[in-house]
Chain A
Amino acid sequence: MANTLIEIQNISKSYRRDSMQIPVLRDISLTVPDGEFLGLMGPSGSGKTTLLNLIAGIDKPNKGKIVVGGMDVASLNETALAKWRARHVGFIFQFYNLIPVLTAYENVELPLLLTKLSKDQRKKHVETALQVVGLADRMQHYPKQLSGGQEQRVAIARAIATDPTLLVADEPTGDLDKQSAEEILTLLERLNKEFKKTIVMVTHDPRAAEKAHTVRHLDKGELQ
């Protein structure tokens, strides 16, 4: 049995809209072992993105504890949390979120600017990451010169460039055609198997969920 990477204990999260508290996650507990490929499914508005954001350290729970890789994430202050994310989390978004004015190379280099790596070392990392996603020949292309599938592959290269502990993906195939979606899923699968990356992926797509080892369902803020 692998070590536990993510340990979620009784977390609750609600948002305030005007004067009302809207509960989004209710008393959720979850353990994710190292090397897991976890799929999170559930209807729209069930709180999938919210849960993912909490795991990734860009949001904080109102109650409960989240430990990722031994770090009590919710207890970190904002600056420390940003540093922790830069080191440990790779983000993959539904709409890729590449910076349009930067080339593929520069986009992938972006998170490396937060490390102590030299320019040459960064170059190696960027090239390796782009090779892994099969886009070494598109380094100098701007996002708008790439197809959706290619953009998402650049985004994945950006997510893995720093060799993070954890990859979080929010509907990574949500904006892609069937074939591109397939390629992206195969790539994620490979990152999990070959590079032993722990992946937490939110998805609506049953085919995507098939690739995951484990699938958990959220409904109305509760884990099934």
Chain B
Amino acid sequence: MKIPLKYTVRNFRSRRLTTAITITGVALVVFVFVAVMMLSNGITATLIATGSTENVLVARKAANGEISSIIMNETYNIILTLPQVAKDAEGKPIATGDVVVVINLPKIGTEGGFSNVTVRGVSQPAFDLRPMVKIAEGRMFNWGAREIIVGSAVTKRFEGAQIGNVIKFAGDNWTIVGVYEADRTAFDSEIWGDVSQIQDAFRRGVSFSTVTFRLSSPDQFEALEKAFADDNRLQQFEPKIEQAYFEAQSEFMAIFISVLGIFVTVFFSVGAIIGAMITMYTAVANRTTEVGTLRALGFQRRNVLFAFLTESILISLIGAAIGLFLASWLQFFTVSTMNWGSFSELEFSFTLTLKIILYAVGFSILMGVVGGFLPSVAAARLNIVNALRSA
């Protein structure tokens, strides 16, 4: 590129208003794009963090979420005897059969608005399997009591879900004795209690939704899958690495948000591209004599093309930088939405990743190229003599 960059830079600085409008347009588009991607990513990241790669979660094959899965007690016992289930020092399996149900609670700040919250009945090893779950306030529930602990996101968002309160579900009163933090995982958006209490209240007999256990060693997963396939009694059930299980739960929402976001972005970007195109056509029209002069001096058509394309791309990149900068502040916000994997509210935060940044930059370059291409070609195609006569 022989036409110096300062020519390009100073030219778009010299017509502040149109450049500023174009930059704003691109910044807006990039902001929307990045925000949506951060949202989609936030859900995935939260659910990935929820599951561990060392744990295995067993659910009924036909179930598309924990709440629609049922594992009867006999099956539960068969699973616990598998050699791939890790044992603690006393030889007891490090496993929890969870009962996962959904209840309705009033949301803070919405008049009469209710939302679903996941209640998870757990047994003791659950806290070894999910070490991120830690009591932050109050105390642990007593085993054998109608007591519960609530996740930090639940206590923040739901009415009456604060420590010391009693909430009613399954025809019973449950005392909130503690609040736990779970490292911004999906567990933060849950309520936990003693599994046998939950089974009893919901009249589930001795059945579970899912079974989660520590894998005896990471290389045992294939053997485990084979054990499930070979045993007639286990054929309706499927073991999955816990992390993969939760990640899959995020897929629907993540894709839904991305697709929605991409539609909105594409829609907006058409506006931004037209804006960039108008700006660049104006730039070319205002500089026809300049182009003629540059060409007379010996600059080639392609030098002119590059100079104008660079200008358009630079404008877009500045817009992208501003959009990215503004969107990066969203990282300090958390939002909650219905997680279609669990049919209940899930709190998560906007998550910015390098990949999103690269996409945004790539996308803005694309906008610059698309918006600037025709005007730049028009500039490059100018006939020298005619361009010089236009003075």
Contact = CB atoms under 8 A, between A and B. Distances in A.
B385 interface: yes
Interface string B19-56: 00000000000000000000000000000000000000
B315 to A, nearest CB: 15
Nearest to B292: A97
Contacts of B358: none
Nearest to A57: B296
A83 B391 contact: no
Given A85-B296, A95-B391, A114 B6 contact: no
A102 B9 CA distance: 11
A110 interface: yes
B385 A113 contact: no
B366 interface: no
Contacts of A56: 296
B125 to A, nearest CB: 71
A99 B296 contact: no
A101 B14 contact: yes
A106 interface: yes
A59 B295 CA distance: 12
A37 interface: no
A8 to B, nearest CB: 17
Interface of chain B, helix or strand or loop or mixed? helix
A82 B2 contact: no
B203 interface: no
Given A53-B385, A93-B293, A95-B391, A82 B4 contact: no
B11 A101 contact: yes
A100 interface: yes
Interface stretch (B129-137, B297-305, B368-376): B297-305
Interface string B356-391: 000000000000000000000000000011001101
A210 interface: no
Interface in A56-89: 56, 58-59, 78-79, 82-83, 85-87
A50 to B, nearest CB: 8
Contacts of B10: 101-102
B333 interface: no
B297 A91 contact: yes
Nearest to B8: A101
B301 A78 contact: yes
B14 A100 contact: yes
Contacts of B7: 99, 101-102
A221 B248 CA distance: 81
A85 B6 contact: no
Interface in B252-301: 289-290, 292-301
Nearest to A79: B300
A111 interface: yes
A97 B385 contact: no
A113 B296 contact: no
B293 A99 contact: yes
A82 B11 contact: no
A102 to B, nearest CB: 6
A106 B11 CA distance: 14
B297 A58 contact: no
B11 A85 contact: no
Contact of A83 (B3, B298, B301, B388): B298
A87 B298 CA distance: 8
B229 to A, nearest CB: 69
Interface in A112-169: 113-114, 158
Contacts of A97: 289-290, 292-293, 388, 391
B285 to A, nearest CB: 15
Contacts of B301: 78
Contacts of A102: 6-7, 10
Nearest to A113: B2
B2 A91 contact: no
Interface in B296-349: 296-301
B277 to A, nearest CB: 22
Contacts of B14: 100-101
A100 B300 CA distance: 20
B269 to A, nearest CB: 29
Between B292, B294, B296, the greatest number of chain A beta carbons within 10 A of the residue's beta carbon is seen for B296
Contact of A58 (B4, B300, B384): B384
Contacts of B2: 113-114
Contacts of B3: 113
Given A93-B388, A97-B289, A113-B4, A86 B295 contact: no
B197 to A, nearest CB: 76
A110 B297 CA distance: 8
Contact of A106 (B6, B295, B297, B300): B6
Listed from nearest, the 3 A-B pairs whose CB atoms lie closest are: A86-B298, A101-B10, A97-B293
Interface of B: 2-4, 6-7, 10-11, 14, 289-290, 292-301, 384-385, 388-389, 391
Given A59-B385, A111-B297, A114-B298, 19 more contacts: A58-B295, A58-B385, A58-B388, A78-B301, A85-B297, A85-B298, A93-B388, A97-B292, A97-B388, A99-B293, A99-B294, A100-B290, A101-B10, A110-B297, A111-B298, A113-B2, A113-B3, A113-B4, A114-B297
11 contacts: A58-B384, A85-B297, A85-B298, A86-B299, A97-B289, A97-B293, A99-B294, A102-B10, A110-B4, A113-B2, A113-B4
Interface of A: 49, 53, 56, 58-59, 78-79, 82-83, 85-87, 91, 93-95, 97, 99-102, 106, 110-111, 113-114, 158
